[in-house]
Chain A
Amino acid sequence: MIDLDSVVSHSPDIVTRKTGNEYVLVPLANNIADMNRLFTLNESGAFIWELIDGEKNIREIVERFTEEFDIESETATRDVLAFMENMSNYLIIRL
């Protein structure tokens, strides 16, 4: 269960490439690239991704996201938590 106190980190089974302000994420299965399950992150997704370091909790990430994109805290919280849920469901990040 992901909540604002959760600390998340990148899955070790992902190869990433930053292109411009976006990311391409390639999941691995037994060290083999699963090209049918590519993910792309837009600028805001890329910003969240780069804050995930296995040390900050989600509350801290929401605060940084709110400042960066100048949006209401409630909106930022909803968006960041939804991002984390999605990434967790696809095993891109882990608790």
Chain B
Amino acid sequence: MREYNLNIAGYNIRLESYDDGPELVPDERFHLNIIPRSDYDVRIRVHHGIFRPGEDSERLFVAPYLVEIKGYKLSRCENFWSVYKENGDMLLTTNFPESISNKRATLKFSLTLREWDLYLENAGFETDPLEYPLDGLILYYLTAIKADIMIHASGVYYGGKGYLFSGISGKGKTTMSKLWDNVGAQVIHDDRLIIRNTDGVYRMYNTPVNRNDGPREAPLTKIFFIEHGSENELYPLREASAVSYVVANSIQHNYSPDMIARFLGSVSMMCSKVPIATLSFRPDRSIIEYLLRNE
């Protein structure tokens, strides 16, 4: 197809391809996110072609390609994707490590305008315009524009309350979501969530970065920073401690003081509204009883 809209975390993303672009074939994990609309929060026009940062561009950020093996991060490529600033525009260039062709992309975007352009090299006649890593990166910049928060976390909705469990890999996010799933909770996601503030109410949203569940969301009632333990114990966090935990577990590629200040402001505001605690937990049903008892 030549155009479609996606609802991801409440963001309405429109993708269009004209004569100079490929046929758009969204990956199966996005199928439940396609919505019958033509308005948008951001429109991405997809083109065949080469677009390189100019000599006057300023490189702001470069990310290596890391793979994780048994908890160790190994670098396989020093230049995976990069962000540049050029004449008021932002440019994001990337390779596609999971693609068998030598596909490359440049996304020309703005933090203030809604019209973006995606240039694809060696994409073939048809392609998924949101192939990894573009999916997560586009979502990340949308969170930055909207002052939202993207965080490593699992989230569940149970008894009218939404609980978010955050921590780095291995701390128990997936374990926790499975425990809640076993008692009938709705699992919003088990790895990555977007937190948004709409009219003063915080909600958490899933992302189709790794899963194909379709859009899920729930009100955000409490946040826990988790780790495995021999006993179930929670300790409330406040003020600077709460903010620092959220910041340390959030996904961010902030490359300017203004972006960082804006991000800290969002986190600080959320921490003043949503209760936050550290949680040591036994990986069994007792943690659910413990949390419900401590409501």
Which residues of A pack against B, CB within 8 Å?
Answer: 15, 17, 19-24, 26, 28, 31-33, 35-36, 38, 40-42
In the A-B complex, the 6 residue pairs with the smallest Cβ-Cβ separation, listed nearest first, are: A22-B240, A40-B240, A17-B264, A20-B239, A22-B239, A15-B260
Contact among B244, B250, B255, B257 with A40 in the assembled complex (CB-CB below 8 Å): B244
**B238 in the interface, Cβ–Cβ < 8 Å?**
yes
Q: Assess the B240–A23 pair: CB atoms within 8 A.
A: yes
Establish whether residues A26 and B260, one from each chain, have CB atoms under 8 Å apart when the complex forms.
Answer: yes
Contact status of A38 and B247, CB under 8 A, knowing A24-B240, A32-B61: yes
CB distance from B61 to the nearest CB of A (A): 6
CA distance A33 to B262 in the complex (A): 12
11 A-B pairs with C-beta separation under 8 A? A15-B260, A15-B261, A15-B264, A17-B261, A22-B239, A26-B264, A31-B60, A32-B60, A33-B252, A35-B250, A40-B240
Number of interface residues of B (CB under 8 A): 25
How near does chain A come to B261, taking the closest CB pair, in angstroms?
A: 5
Are A17 and B239 also in contact (CB < 8 A) when A35-B252, A38-B248 are? Answer: no
Alpha-carbon gap, A28 to B242, bound state (A) = 20
* Contact call B255/A24, Cβ cutoff below 8 A: no
Residues from 11 to 34 in B contacting A, C-beta threshold 8 Å: none
Check B254 against A33 for contact (C-beta < 8 Å). Answer: yes
The answer, yes or no, to whether B271 is at the interface (CB within 8 Å) is: yes
B87 at the interface (CB under 8 A from A): no
Task: Give B222-263 as 1s and 0s: 1 = Cβ < 8 Å from A's Cβ atoms.
Answer: 000000000000000011111110011010101111001100
Q: Which residues of B contact A23 (CB under 8 A)?
A: 240
Question: Which listed residue (A26, A28, A41, A42) contacts B247, Cβ 8 A?
Answer: A26
Residues of chain A contacted by B197 (CB below 8 angstroms) = none
Contact indicator A17/B252 (Cβ below 8 Å): no
By a CB distance below 8 angstroms, the chain A residues around B271 are 19
Q: Considering the chains assembled together, what is the distance between the CA atoms of A61 and B260 in angstroms?
A: 29
Q: How far is the CB of A27 from chain B (nearest CB, A)?
A: 10
Taking CB atoms, residues of chain B closer than 8 Å to A31 are 60, 255-257
**Bound Cα distance from A41 to B240, whole angstroms:** 7
